[in-house]
Amino acid sequence: MGFEVSEIRRDFPILSRKVHGKPLVYFDNAATTQKPKSLISALSSFYENHNGNIHRGAHTLSDEATTLVEESRQKTASFINAPKPETIVFTRNATEAINLVAHSWGRKFLKSGDEIILTELEHHSNLVPWQILSKEKSVKLRFIPIEKNGDLDLSEAKKLFSDKTKLISFTAASNVLGTLPPVKEIIGLAKQAGAKTLIDASQWTPHFKTDVQDWDCDFLAFSAHKMLGPTGLGVLYGRESLLEGMDPFLGGGDMIERVELESFTPNVLPAKFEAGTPAIAEAAVFPEALKYLSQIGFAAIEDQEQALLKRTLEILKNEPEVELYGSPLPQGRGGVISFNLRGLHSHDVGTSLDLEGVAVRTGHHCCQPLMRCLGVGGTARASFYFYNTLEEVEIFGHALRKTVEFFKPKLKTAGAK
Domain ranges of the chain: 5-30+298-410, 39-294
Residue 106 and residue 137 in contact, taking contact as beta carbons nearer than 8 Å: yes
Domains 5-30+298-410 and 39-294 share a fold: no
What 8-state DSSP symbol labels residue 28? B
Contacts 24+ apart (CB under 8 A), 305-308: 305/207, 305/334, 305/335, 305/384, 305/385, 305/386, 306/330, 306/331, 306/335, 307/390, 308/335, 308/384, 308/388, 308/389, 308/390, 308/393
Report the alpha-carbon distance of residue 294 to residue 75 in Å, rounded.
Answer: 11
Residue 312 and residue 96 in contact, taking contact as beta carbons nearer than 8 Å: no
Residue 341's SS3 state is strand
CA nearest 226: which of 173, 187, 278?
Answer: 173
CA nearest 38: which of 216, 278, 350, 286?
Answer: 286
The DSSP code sequence of 94-133 is: HHHHHHHHIIIIIHHH--TT-EEEEETT--GGGTHHHHHH
* Type of residue found at 79: F
Report the alpha-carbon distance of residue 73 to residue 90 in Å, rounded.
Answer: 8
Please tell me the predicted confidence (pLDDT) of residue 416. 53
Please tell me the predicted confidence (pLDDT) of residue 417. 41
Residue 36 and residue 11 in contact, taking contact as beta carbons nearer than 8 Å: yes
- Phi (first) and psi of residue 346, to 5 degrees: -60, -30
- Compute the C-alpha angle 73/77/83, nearest 5°: 125
Residue 292's SS3 state is helix
Report the alpha-carbon distance of residue 209 to residue 231 in Å, rounded.
Answer: 21
Report the alpha-carbon distance of residue 306 to residue 363 in Å, rounded.
Answer: 24
The CATH code that applies to domain 39-294 is 3.40.640.10
Length of the chain: 417
Chain-centroid distance, C-alpha 322: 27
Helices 280-296 & 37-45, crossing angle to 10 degrees?
150
Report the alpha-carbon distance of residue 404 to residue 397 in Å, rounded.
Answer: 10
Rounded to the nearest 10°, the torsion over CA 9, 15, 16, 22 is -130
- Compute the C-alpha angle 57/59/65, nearest 5°: 70
Please tell me the predicted confidence (pLDDT) of residue 415. 59
Please tell me the predicted confidence (pLDDT) of residue 1. 44
pTM confidence score: 0.97
What 8-state DSSP symbol labels residue 398? H
The CATH code that applies to domain 5-30+298-410 is 3.90.1150.10
416 torsion bin: left (phi>0), alpha (psi -120 to 50), beta (else): beta
Which sequence positions are flagged as catalytic?
366
Report the alpha-carbon distance of residue 354 to residue 365 in Å, rounded.
Answer: 18
Report the alpha-carbon distance of residue 267 to residue 86 in Å, rounded.
Answer: 12
145 torsion bin: left (phi>0), alpha (psi -120 to 50), beta (else): beta
CA nearest 120: which of 144, 138, 140?
Answer: 144
> pLDDT by residue for the chain (417 residues), tens digit each?
468 999 999 999 999 999 999 999 999 999 999 999 999 999 999 999 999 999 988 999 999 999 999 999 999 999 999 999 999 999 999 999 999 999 999 999 999 999 999 999 999 999 999 999 999 999 999 999 999 999 999 999 999 999 999 999 999 999 999 999 999 999 999 999 999 999 999 999 999 999 999 999 999 999 999 999 999 999 999 999 999 999 999 999 889 999 999 999 999 999 999 999 999 999 999 999 999 999 999 999 999 999 999 999 999 999 999 999 999 989 999 999 999 999 999 999 999 999 999 999 999 999 999 999 999 999 999 999 999 999 999 999 999 999 999 999 999 887 554
* Type of residue found at 356: E
